[in-house]
Amino acid sequence: MLTKRIIPCLDIKNGRTVKGVNFENLIDAGDPVELAKYYSENGADELVFLDISATKEKRKTLVDLVERIAKNINIPFTVGGGISSVGDVSILLQSGADKVSVNSSAVKNPELINHLANKFGSQCIIVAIDAKQIDDNWKVYLVGGKVPTEIDLFEWAAEVEKRGAGEILFTSMNHDGTKDGYANQTLAIISQLVNIPVIASGGAGNMQHFADVFKIGKSDAALAASVFHFNEISIAELKQFLNNQDINMRV
């Protein structure tokens, strides 16, 4: 049985780690290099770095910060934000990233997924999908949740797999930062729809929420931010809790 993964997420703005609720009202959550080092040493399976304002500000990801983080950790490291070309990915991989996450640029130019997968291999291409449920429909949002589209979440998830994505990182904007639990029913549909790993994001508030996202949501990995940044949940204790519920974790 494959082990499930616990992934802290560093949302970066102006060189600092930030966290909000429903993608709004961001507050400071600490120095990203110190947090990355702490997570690497304390049981995180992987680390995700998202430069959340890069696309909106029409600039590239903070490469120097990526390099500093990469030098301080020894776990797989995913970087996203402002990535729109093969050249962008080359620079980030050379700077120490193991995988990259593309979101808005992939929606605007779906062929980008094919190009990146062909050039670098599917294993290092994650497509991040931010979506919001309005009535009974899940629609994809761009530019850090600022720009709505008419694209259906499930159709897009199926398409990114066909185009060569190695993983999907799904964030429910309805659940983000609420600490009320993940969008498990929706995650279960996505996990059934695709044959690539699905990373769940948005809503972690307690240890049971992680158990539920693996058992009910059928996710391969669970990403969280504030519960880890503000020491509300210890990753080591979380993994022990999940192992006790017969969820296979790397301890």
With a CB cutoff of 8 Å and minimum separation 6, the contacts of 157 are 129, 168, 170, 190, 193, 194
Catalytic member of 11, 45, 51, 220: 11
Q: What is the Cα–Cα distance from 154 to 125, expressed in whole angstroms?
A: 19
By DSSP bridging, strand 147-152 and strand 99-102 are unpaired
Q: E-assigned strands of the chain?
A: 5-13, 16-21, 24-30, 47-51, 77-80, 99-102, 125-134, 137-142, 147-152, 167-172, 198-201, 221-224
Q: Identify the active-site residue in 45, 88, 130, 212.
A: 130
- Annotation marks residue 130 as catalytic: yes
d(CA 185, CA 79): 27
Is 31 marked active-site?
Answer: no
Catalytic residues: 11, 130
